[in-house]
Amino acid sequence: MFVGVGASRVRDLFKKAKENAPCLIFIDEIDAVGRQRGAGIGGGNDEREQTLNQLLTEMDGFEGNTGIIIIAATNRADVLDSALMRPGRFDRQVMVDNPDIKGRLEILEVHARDKKIAPEVSLDAIARRTPGFSGADLANLLNEAAILTARRRKEAVTIHEIDDAVDRVVAGMEGTPLTDGKSKRLIAYHEIGHAIVGTLVKDHDPVQKVTLIPRGQAQGLTWFTPSEDQGLVSRSQLMARIAGAMGGRAAEEEIFGSDEVTTGAGGDLQQVSEMARQMVTVYGMSDLGPIALGGGQGDQVFLGAGLTSRAEYSEEVASRIDDQVRQIAEHGHQLARKIIRENREVIDRLVDLLIEKETIDGEELKQIVSEYAEVPEKERFVPQI
């Protein structure tokens, strides 16, 4: 095993490989050395470039079938030096996406092998509850659950530990809840705002639970059951998500007035802007029509390229984009405010309940809301554990 960079390490690696052929060379995190050369600001990193050059030279040095196969892994294939991808070098790409439900179940089975899990816990149900989780997330999930089990002095991992571990993996460590007071009420209205809009807008993912127990950066959280099929999302689903994300701020405005709104909606608004901008510039879902405007996502991440590439549209189009983004966000905002205004009675009841119980689960929430308003049937249903 070779760790670190350096041209001599690469030479040694290939020398050893040739002695041991037939064999496989596996390079993890190839982007650490294989990043596009010459794009760094103020000159490249010499040692890294030399390592890359040596790697390219060695790969070209294969004559005929030397019995050496090189495999490399990266999360950022887009930043790799184009020379690496030429025929004869890394000329096959295999995308390893986040696992589907079957994949997740199999990964969970691997990581559950060395853990004591209570017999009533179904790995299948955990797999169902975790769309979008990567293999590393799933491993982390079971580790966290095991730690919680030990801390609670239990014999085996139960559903409660799994449940808490999912929350922790998704949203960070649990904090201490606020004591009752004005700010707790405001946070409760904010979260119920998300939850009620999410419940009453037809194409929104169903609410899984609302809680006032802080986690990570958040003072309160509304969880939505993510859908399994994360491939295609319709315009109406995106509009629903925008309205849902606006629900928190809308509730603050409707209930406490626009002078009392808080910084708590900062993250929500950022999400809204991102979604709305992508709808306009990437997915062609606005009045500007079905055109892609500007580079794809991830441009900014690669600083060197971001500074040199120019926008592919005029100033005029840029201001029309801003205009469309604002319109989409405002549409969601107004829809959220309307829903809050029209459902004030149930919102007040839910807020009292939330302050009392600190967590309301999705089924109970839906039950209560349906006493006051018609709750649209959500298509997808992911069973909870």
Smallest separation, CB 193 to Zn ion (Å): 8
DSSP for 260-323 reads S--GGGHHHHHHHHHHHHHHHHTS--STT-S---SS-TTTTTSHHHHHHPPPSS-HHHHHHHHH
- In the annotation, is 371 catalytic? no
Closer to Zn ion at the Cβ: 234 or 270? 270
CB of 177 to Zn ion, least distance (A): 17
Q: At what angle do helices 135-151 and 101-112 cross, to 10 degrees?
A: 40
- Binding piece for Zn ion, criterion CB under 5 A, among 32-40, 102-110, 178-186, 247-255: 247-255
Closest to Zn ion by CB, 176 or 263: 263
Binding track over 112-131 against Zn ion, x by CB under 5 A: --------------------
| Least distance from Zn ion to the Cβ atom of residue 191, Å | 7
Which is closer to Zn ion, CB of 49 or CB of 252?
A: 252
198 binds Zn ion (CB under 5 A): no
Give ∠ CA 268-273-275 in degrees, rounded to 5. Answer: 95
Contact 37, 45 (CB under 8 A): no
Nearest distance, CB of residue 355 and Zn ion, angstroms? 17
CB 219 to Zn ion: min, Å: 9
> Is residue 322 within 8 Å of 288, Cβ to Cβ?
no
| Number of neighbours of residue 55 by Cβ within 10 angstroms | 27
Count of residues that bind Zn ion according to CB under 5 A: 2
Of 256 and 283, CB closest to Zn ion: 256
Contact mark string toward Zn ion, 251..290, x via CB under 5 A: -----------------x----------------------
Min dist CB 380 to Zn ion, Å, is: 23
Q: What is the DSSP letter of 83?
A: G
Q: Which of residues 35-54 bind Zn ion (CB under 5 A)?
A: none
Region near Zn ion per CB under 5 A, out of 31-39, 45-53, 241-249, 371-379 = 241-249
Cβ distance to Zn ion smaller for residue 99 or 248: 248
Q: Are 304 and 36 in contact (CB under 8 A)?
A: yes
| Segment lying near Zn ion (by CB under 5 A), choices 167-175, 229-237, 240-248, 285-293 | 240-248
DSSP code at position 213: S
Whether the Cβ atoms of residue 138 and residue 111 lie closer than 8 Å to each other:
yes
DSSP 68: E
Say how far apart CA 350 and CA 356 lie, in whole Å. Answer: 10
List, as one string, the DSSP characters of 18-49: HHH-SEEEEESSTHHHHB-TT-STTS--HHHH
Closer residue to Zn ion (CB): 246 or 382: 246
248 binds Zn ion (CB under 5 A): yes
Query: Which DSSP state fits 214?
Result: -
Nearer to Zn ion, 34 or 248 (CB): 248
**In whole angstroms, what is the distance from residue 37 CA to residue 48 CA?**
9
Least spacing, CB of residue 266 vs Zn ion, in Å: 9
Catalytic entry in 58, 161, 191, 252: 191
Does the protein bind Zn ion through residue 332 (CB under 5 A)? no
Contact set with Zn ion (CB under 5 A): 248, 268
The catalytic residues are 191
